Structure 1
Amino acid sequence: MSTESLTAAFSAAARPEITTDPGRSVGVLLCHGFTGSPASMRPWAEALAERGYGVEVPLLPGHGTTWQEMNATGWADWHAAVEQAFARVRAAHDVVVVAGLSMGGALALRMTIDHPDDVAGVVLVNPGINSTNKQLLALPVLKWLLPSMPAIGNDIKKAGADEHGYDRTPLKALSSMLDGWKQLRADLARVRVPVQVFKSVDDHVLDPSSVQLITQHIPTAEVTLLHDSFHVATIDNDAQQIFDDSAAFIRSVTGV
């Protein structure tokens, strides 16, 4: 599928998975964030496809429909979907780079830990693996009393940008994500490949602790600060910097 046909097939109203031509020597797996959709990754996917990379952005279970449906899914479901996408990308390409936004960054790191010999590098944009929000301590009980709470959606500085996410946060799903984060944090030291991290200076969704833990436990992690974007930086004012710098990173870790 060409970039033009990919663009035509992927409208703002319909939020399917994004897949470019298989068979290229370098494949890139992009993972969207919690309650988000591939819409937040579309421009990045197209930018990489234009550079000749094969790209896939899976739609995670429970996303792109309703928050109620998402509340019936959890970390195991999202992890399984990314595993399947990773297998497809790995089978079609000589070398693979994984990348993700927010929770998608956690899933990308999970792939790197689970497949240490099959990932050449990792790109993370405002990755989420931890939170210092004390309100989350009540979540194990609260999730049985309230199905959802208002979400911090479209944390984007650029006017008119839309990630097509939910306006409610499903609490059972949120609790499951936090459980997945806990195991991931315990395994961070197993990441040995180069890691490129983009961190927005102004992020109203995640506190700095996630990036701090990543740099503390992964010696290969290098951080680039984004000064003109909020949380969903992949469709914000610094998006082009992410596209250009990640493409350069991919070239450097794959040798292609």
Structure 2
Amino acid sequence: MTSAPRAGTEPFAAEGGRVGFLLSHGFTGSPASMTPWARHLAAQGHSVRVPRLPGHGTTWQDMNRTRWDDWYGELDTALTELRSHCDTVVVAGLSMGGCLALRLAEQRPGDVDAVVLVNPAVNVKRLDIKLVPLLQWVVPSMPGIGNDIKKPGQDEIGYDRTPLKALASQVTMWRQVRAALPSVTQPLLMFRSADDHVVDETSQSIILEGVSSDVAELVTLHDSFHVATLDHDAELIFGRTDAFVAEHLPSSPDREDA
């Protein structure tokens, strides 16, 4: 039986205009990492969704009973709902959420108009992660990766343990997403923290060299760790995303009426 959700991990939804934003939190995290960004977008009149991915926001044991297709399925459903009343949809994600955003762009190119990634994860160099497909059958979890945040007083409300069966499933997802990167053609904006203690630099080059997007911009964040959406550079992320969407997406009723 799944545990009750923890306070502060509630999904976020805002009804707005015909430009929609679907935001995904990361592995073992929660919507709390994306809610400030979501509120910023909603304040500008956009329609916004931040689902809580299955197995998140409760206990790591719950998450160990979920797999990557469960997480993707939650976002896929949210995209369908958002697309039903939006002319334009931007999909954005933090860490594993970035990988899931890329998967949506790969699988549903007609429904995703732009992709925004914050410290996305599609690969790691760490040896212990490479051993996870075997380790998952030996131990249930290992130390957590949450709250890698430079700014004091911030909390993404994640887990203090990393569930290994779920992590092994994420590694499987990484391989599938990497293989299909050439099918990503949407305008892409990537934010990458210069000092990230969770995701190493290999994901950046794999993504930027793998996608077929005519527009693929990289913004380096110099005052944030991994969970940059809650860190010192959060306002930079919000503002640069606004400018990117305004420049690279077709004019929308939202902007025409502004």
Same fold, judged at TM 0.5 (above): yes
Match of 1:238 in 2: 233
Match of 1:221 in 2: 216
- CA drift of 1:254 comes to 3.7
CA distance in 2, matches of 1:254, 1:106: 25
User: How many pairs are equivalent?
Assistant: 245
CA distance in 2, matches of 1:41, 1:226: 17
Which amino acid counterpart does residue 14 of structure 2 have in structure 1? T
- CA drift of 1:224 comes to 0.2
Indicate which of 84, 93, 96 corresponds to 1:91. Answer: 84
Indicate which of 39, 42, 45 corresponds to 1:49. Answer: 42
- Conserved 8 A contact 1:26-1:254: no
Secondary structure of 1:228's counterpart equals coil
**Over 4 Å off, 4+ runs:** none
Secondary structure of 2:147's counterpart equals coil
- CA drift of 1:118 comes to 1.7
- Conserved 8 A contact 1:62-1:73: yes
CA distance in 1, matches of 2:151, 2:8: 22
- Conserved 8 A contact 2:8-2:157: no
- CA drift of 1:157 comes to 0.1
Aligned-pair identity (%): 52
Structural mapping, 1:94-133, within 5 Å: 94-133=87-126
Deviations 1:160-184 (A, max 9, x none): 0110000000000000000001000
- Conserved 8 A contact 1:98-1:121: yes
CA distance in 1, matches of 2:109, 2:145: 34
Structural mapping, 1:28-67, within 5 Å: 28-67=21-60
Relative to the length of structure 2, the TM-score reads 0.92
Match of 2:18 in 1: 25
Match of 2:164 in 1: 171
CA distance in 2, matches of 1:96, 1:68: 33
Relative to the length of structure 1, the TM-score reads 0.93
Match of 2:67 in 1: 74
Secondary structure of 1:184's counterpart equals helix
Indicate which of 142, 147, 153 corresponds to 1:149. Answer: 142
Which amino acid counterpart does residue 31 of structure 2 have in structure 1? P
- CA drift of 1:120 comes to 1.2
Deviations 1:75-104 (A, max 9, x none): 010011110011011012111110000000
* Structure 2 residue runs without a partner (length 5+): 1-5, 253-258
- CA drift of 1:132 comes to 1.2
Indicate which of 9, 13, 22 corresponds to 2:7. Answer: 13
CA distance in 2, matches of 1:126, 1:255: 28
Indicate which of 109, 116, 129 corresponds to 1:136. Answer: 129
Match of 2:192 in 1: 199
- Conserved 8 A contact 1:45-1:57: yes
CA distance in 2, matches of 1:106, 1:177: 9
- CA drift of 1:217 comes to 1.3
- Conserved 8 A contact 1:33-1:100: yes
CA distance in 1, matches of 2:80, 2:10: 19
Match of 1:182 in 2: 175
CA distance in 2, matches of 1:254, 1:182: 32
CA distance in 2, matches of 1:113, 1:137: 25
CA distance in 2, matches of 1:164, 1:36: 6
Structure holding more helix per residue: 1
CA distance in 2, matches of 1:98, 1:71: 26
Secondary structure of 2:32's counterpart equals helix
- Conserved 8 A contact 1:96-1:118: yes
- CA drift of 1:13 comes to 2.2
CA RMSD of aligned residues (A): 1.3
Deviations 1:108-146 (A, max 9, x none): 111111111121110000001111112223212210110
Secondary structure of 2:20's counterpart equals strand
Secondary structure of 1:144's counterpart equals coil
